[in-house]
A and B are shown apart, each in its own frame.
Chain A
Amino acid sequence: MSSLAETFKDEAMELLQELEESLLALEETPEDQGLIDRVFRALHTLKGSGGLAGFEDVSSFCHEAETVFELVRSGDLKADRELVSLTLAAQDHLKGMVLTEFGADPVDDERTAELVAAFQILLPFAEQQVEKISEQALRQESIQSTYRIRFRPQPNLFRLGVQPQFLLSELAHLGEAIIVAQLDAVPPLDELDPEECWVYWDILLTTAEDKDAIRDVFIFVEDDCGLDIQQIDEGGVLDQPEDYKRLGEILVERGDLPQDELDHFLNQKKLFGEALVEQGHVNRSKVQSALTEQERVQALRRQRQVCDAVDSIRVKSDRLDKLVNLVGEMVTVQARLSQFASNRVDADLLSVAEEVERLTWDLRDQVLTIRMLPISGIFTKFKRLVRDLGAELGKDVMLVTEGGETELDKTVIDSLNDPLVHLIRNCIGHGIELPQVRQALGKPAKGRITLSAKHAGANVALTITDDGAGLDKAQIKAKAVEKGLVGAQAELSDREIYNLIFEPGFSTAQEVSNVSGRGVGMDVVRQAVDSLRGSIEVSSEAGQGTVFAVKLPLTLAIIDGLLIDIASEQYILPLSAVEECVELTQEETIQAHGRNLLNIRDEIVPYVRLRNEFNLPGERPEIEQVVIANLEGFRVGFVVDNVVGEHQTVIKNLGRMYQDADGVSGATILGDGRVALILDLPSLATRVETKENSACR
């Protein structure tokens, strides 16, 4: 039992005692107004206190008796012996009701009903009928309506102890409010009484509450103010035209401008609001207020139309996959058609082929966007992960996400979960320090991991940033040497050192925990990212933190490719990596003295001769083409015979037999039905690099 109930019990016993005494005295002198008041007050107080202390039954029971004694007090009813006996019985019953809560036997409900009925019978007919009408206002949540409110308090407002700003801010709590103060009634300074309120307000309120709720805000001042509430826009109604009433109509509706003046003005072809103000018919702030209303409602209706348009249906994802496959076939067939048409001298066929090409590209783009999902879906999951892991390791970490609206192909998003979980685990496990350590270093005790996504051309750039300790270069290198990943003498750039953490079997965690540090980890992350045709980079600043930058293609199904050929074999290079194409003459090759380096605008670019790499037969042409690709910040050239041009590439996976083929990521079917391999440029570059390195040793 709470102490409040105890307080009430004590008070109730006192009041009931008082009630009993007064009733007994009243029996002797039924006309004594003082005694009647005492009875009434006892009942009244008991009712109020009971309600507050949670004794609803006591409260409502008292209410019945109180109602009767109110009539006695006003002289409409006599306090005869019968009423006194009834009330005494009620007093005994009340004592029982209060004590029930403190372990006494429960009162008889039938007896309660009997007594209530006995009191009610004493009331005039009308009062018996009074029943509380239940709140029928079925408030439809989430449906927002907009109201126009004009609140014009009487000048004596302040003397009631009411501050209008509190009412306005209360109103703003109900929803989105735009408040315009109207000052035209404020008298000149020498006549102004600072204790009077002459300002009035126009408010536009967009809220899910109903009119009564708005009225409730003004309940204390309702009688002392002009209050006009009108619904001007209803949320539930669809198919409303977006445009709203004209300025003139609004002003007339508000009573700020008579209709005939409006008509008069409409005949003058001026900017309406300006003209009205110029000629002094309506002051500027009223026009402003009306314009605000116009803008607001228009904006709301526009917004609503957008919302309605975002209506969605659920479709099984395998149906989508089929659709994407079909579009892929379509793109292939269309490429064939275009090629066929361009080989014929037939203007009609050519125009049909072009039409089909245009439609197919549109179709492709549309279908691919269907599969796009915002990345925020997996972002939210990580909040929990970060919280739980942080707690487990005694670290205080928060996750900040940016760019959750960035869209990615569903397949990409699905396969992104595991690598991201791993990266975040690593950030918390290795990166973020313990709170004490952080504080000692002058950092905020709460570590911060930022997960951000943004579009970058045909890719999505994901970055995972922590503000932890950063990578320890010396430790990484030592470990790598120990594991035999690099030679002890190897001169490595920072970037090369950092990238060692992605090598299989690498882990620097001092102690093995179940969060990170089982030695499997970062290499798995890289594999996963690679399989998505993405790339991952790490950079770090000692003491400042680590940044993992993951770059992913928007989609896995269709890419823009560059079709090239070498010895009459055709290949596709992903266009997203290609920067430019340059020529390579025999002379240049000879001048380079066998080193595969190219000078492009004074920049030395290494190149790979794909003809050699793939052991293709035949002679090199006089002039070869070099496709310069940007691979994670490094420019590398790929020498080919011919650059054919851009090609819409539908990616087909290689059969299981060829899954591990190095340097090839897939295949596609060309317009003429031939198969072209899609080259995996980063792995080709690495392959060549390793070969050269081993040749050097």
Chain B
Amino acid sequence: MGKRVMTVDDSATVRQVLHMTLEGAGYEVVQAVDGEDALGKLSKESFDMLVTDLNMPKLDGIGLIKVVRQNPGNRFMPIIMLTTESQPEKKQEGKAAGASGWIVKPFKPEQLLAVVRMVCPL
């Protein structure tokens, strides 16, 4: 059974890496460029996991997570946030908003897969 992942990042490079890695591992990937774009797509389809950047124009990651968690259908959805080493407090903020876990950028594809395996294995 395939799993659908939504990846949200304003950087095309990050989106491409996420997409290639996850798709290579057998996930179905839908990309969004920022929080608002993601919300629009999330309202139309259902996903098994959300991977989102925190620093984004329009709606940022924390805001996105908060809104997503409010939807009863997404209460148990694994959410992974992309952070950087320089934002330890962001991790706490993200967790408080309802993120399941995080990946520190830059990451290697295998690191991404190791994290994804912990929260949403195929």
Residues of A within 8 A of B (CB): 4, 7-8, 10-11, 41, 44-45, 47-53, 59, 63, 66-67, 70, 158-163, 166-167, 169-170, 195, 217, 219-220, 223
Contacts and interface: CB of A to CB of B under 8 A. Distances in A.
Given A51-B105, A66-B86, A223-B95, A4 B118 contact: no
> Which residue of A47, A160, A195 has the most chain B CB atoms within 10 A of its CB atom?
A160
Interface string B86-121: 100000000100111110011100000000011111
A169 B121 contact: yes
Given A52-B106, A159-B98, A160-B99, A67 B86 contact: yes
Contacts of B17: 4, 52-53
Contacts of A195: 75
A160 B98 contact: yes
A127 B20 CA distance: 36
B10 interface: yes
B85 to A, nearest CB: 8
Contact of A45 (B11, B86, B99, B107): B11
Nearest to A15: B11
A675 to B, nearest CB: 72
Nearest to B54: A44
Closest 9 pairs between A and B when the two form their complex, measured CB to CB: A51-B106, A49-B13, A220-B101, A161-B100, A161-B78, A48-B105, A52-B17, A8-B13, A49-B11
14 contacts: A10-B12, A48-B13, A48-B82, A48-B105, A51-B106, A51-B107, A52-B17, A52-B105, A52-B106, A70-B86, A159-B69, A160-B95, A160-B100, A166-B118
Contact of A52 (B13, B86, B121): B13
Contact of A220 (B76, B84, B98, B119): B119
Contacts of B12: 7, 10-11, 49
Nearest to B83: A48
A66 B87 CA distance: 11
A4 B21 CA distance: 12
A63 B104 CA distance: 14
Nearest to A56: B106
A220 B102 contact: yes
A44 B120 contact: no
B97 to A, nearest CB: 10
Q: A-side binding surface: helix, strand, loop or mixed?
A: helix
B11 A170 contact: no
A203 to B, nearest CB: 15
Contacts of A59: 106
> Which residue of A8, A52, A158 has the most chain B CB atoms within 10 A of its CB atom?
A52
B16 A7 contact: yes
A49 B12 CA distance: 8
A696 B17 CA distance: 88
Contacts of A11: 11-13
**How many B residues are at the interface, by size bracket?**
20 to 34
A14 to B, nearest CB: 9
B95 A47 contact: no
B77 interface: yes
Nearest to A40: B55
A166 B49 CA distance: 14
Given A44-B84, A48-B105, A158 B14 contact: no
A195 B107 CA distance: 33
Contacts of A4: 13, 16-17, 20
Interface string B51-91: 00001010000000000010000011111001010100000
Nearest to A171: B118
Nearest to B116: A166
A220 B81 CA distance: 11
Given A45-B10, A49-B14, A160-B95, 12 more contacts: A11-B11, A44-B84, A45-B14, A45-B55, A48-B84, A48-B106, A160-B98, A162-B100, A162-B119, A170-B117, A170-B118, A220-B119
Nearest to A224: B95
> Which residue of A4, A66, A220 has the most chain B CB atoms within 10 A of its CB atom?
A220
Contacts of B118: 166-167, 170, 217, 220
Contacts of B98: 159-161
A103 to B, nearest CB: 20
Nearest to A173: B117
Contacts of B120: 166
B119 A163 contact: yes
Contacts of A44: 55, 84
> Which residue of B10, B11, B57 has the most chain A CB atoms within 10 A of its CB atom?
B11
B117 A166 contact: yes
A47 B84 contact: yes
A431 B57 CA distance: 71
Contacts of A51: 105-107
Contacts of B105: 47-48, 51-52
A162 B49 CA distance: 11
A659 B87 CA distance: 87
A50 B106 CA distance: 8
A217 B117 CA distance: 10
A185 to B, nearest CB: 21
Given A8-B13, A52-B107, A158 B55 contact: no
